[in-house]
């Protein structure tokens, strides 16, 4: 599949790898850390079967995209996304972000507005603001992120081995909802990412998206597991759903961070239902803001 050039670093182009499949109402899927667009495989199949055009891409530094040493901040990530959707001439598209990918959804809508966007979905996502501050007491202490940065810098391969245990809650779900091979595959993808990106992305997790969320006036779905050990539900999904007027909140019982894999059937049913209904409404009327949760 093709690449889109989004910038340059010295003499080399910075290219994003993307895949564009199917026909119908377009959906852009934005992956989490430290994976790639391939992590959406269970959702891609379901959305294609439901008649959607599905676009996935690898964030700069990850997957098959270029691995520059610059641009690891959400303003640049959102600009990269904007260049992608502009080049492939998307209209009335839905944005779906998982984990770190939810930051792209929030910043894109905060920076470029909702024109051309039919709806938004946040799955286990980092908004609204994960860092504990005087005006954000629900956040996570900064020392947690500092510890992660130190661990990634010291030995990212060892860090990822521990990270994925909590990504999938393997102590509870291994052999039931996730296999050892699936966990190993995630580790393999993560180790192929840029060492610079793996470290530089950690501070972006506590970007303040509260102002961005106030710009969202399209139908929005927020989905997260109540056993998420990576991004606490109380600090993220619950608050995001309250900050976006009319957002629908779906809490997946016993769901870990990566519900897109472990609870794919539930996630896919909600996605197909929400995107189908929302796109049908968008075709006949302006986006509605009333609460549906």
Domain definitions of the chain by residue range: 3-284
Per-residue pLDDT 10s for the chain (293 aa) are 699 999 999 999 999 999 999 999 999 999 999 999 999 999 999 999 999 999 999 999 999 999 999 999 999 999 999 999 999 999 999 999 999 999 999 999 999 999 999 999 999 999 999 999 999 998 999 999 999 999 999 999 999 999 999 999 999 999 999 999 999 999 999 999 999 999 999 999 999 999 999 999 999 999 999 999 999 999 999 999 999 999 999 999 999 999 999 999 999 999 999 999 544 444 444 444 443 43
Quote the pLDDT of residue 288. Answer: 44
Quote the pLDDT of residue 35. Answer: 98
In the set 65, 228, 241, 263, the catalytic residue is: 228
In the set 39, 99, 186, 241, the catalytic residue is: 99
Buried b (16+ CB within 10 A) or exposed e, 69-96: eebbbbebbbbbbeebbeebebeebbbb
Buried b (16+ CB within 10 A) or exposed e, 112-140: bebeebbbbbbbbbbbbbbbbeeebeebb
Catalytic status, residue 31 = no
Q: How many CA atoms lie within 13 A of 96 on its CB side?
A: 27
Quote the pLDDT of residue 1. Answer: 66
Instruction: Give the burial class of 20: count Cβ atoms within 10 A of its Cβ; 0-12 exposed, 13-18 middle, 19 or more buried.
Output: middle
Catalytic status, residue 241 = no
Provide the CATH number for the domain formed by 3-284 in this structure.
Answer: 3.40.50.1820
Tell me which residue of 68, 119, 116, 77 sits closest to 99, measured CA to CA: 77
């Amino acid at each position: 599949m093709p690449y889109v050039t989004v910038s340059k670093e010295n003499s080399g182009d910075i290219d994003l790898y993307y895949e564009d499949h199917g026909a119908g109402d377009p959906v852009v899927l934005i992956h989490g850390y430290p994976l790639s667009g391939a992590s959406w495989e269970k959702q891609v199949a379901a959305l294609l079967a439901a008649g959607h055009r599905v676009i996935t891409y690898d964030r700069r530094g990850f997957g098959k995209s270029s691995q520059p040493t610059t641009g690891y901040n959400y303003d640049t990530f959102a600009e990269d996304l904007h260049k992608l959707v502009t080049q492939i001439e998307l209209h009335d598209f839905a944005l779906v972000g998982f984990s770190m990918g939810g930051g792209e959804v929030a910043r894109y809508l905060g920076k470029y507005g909702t024109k051309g966007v039919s709806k938004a979905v946040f799955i286990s996502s980092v908004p609204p603001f994960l860092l504990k501050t005087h005006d954000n007491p629900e956040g996570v202490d900064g020392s947690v992120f500092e510890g992660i940065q130190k661990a990634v810098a010291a030995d990212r391969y060892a860090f990822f081995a521990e990270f994925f245990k909590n990504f999938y809650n393997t102590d509870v779900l291994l052999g039931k909802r996730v296999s050892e091979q699936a966990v190993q595959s995630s580790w393999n993808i993560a180790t192929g990412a840029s060492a610079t990106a793996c470290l530089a992305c950690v501070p972006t997790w506590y970007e303040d998206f509260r102002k961005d969320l106030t710009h969202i006036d399209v139908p929005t779905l927020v989905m997260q597991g109540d056993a998420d050990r990576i991004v606490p539900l109380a600090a993220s999904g619950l608050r995001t759903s309250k900050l976006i007027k009319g957002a629908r909140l779906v809490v997946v019982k016993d769901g870990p961070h990566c519900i897109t894999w472990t609870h794919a059937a539930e996630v896919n049913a909600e996605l197909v239902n929400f995107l189908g209904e929302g796109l049908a409404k968008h075709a006949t009327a302006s986006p509605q803001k009333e609460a549906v949760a």
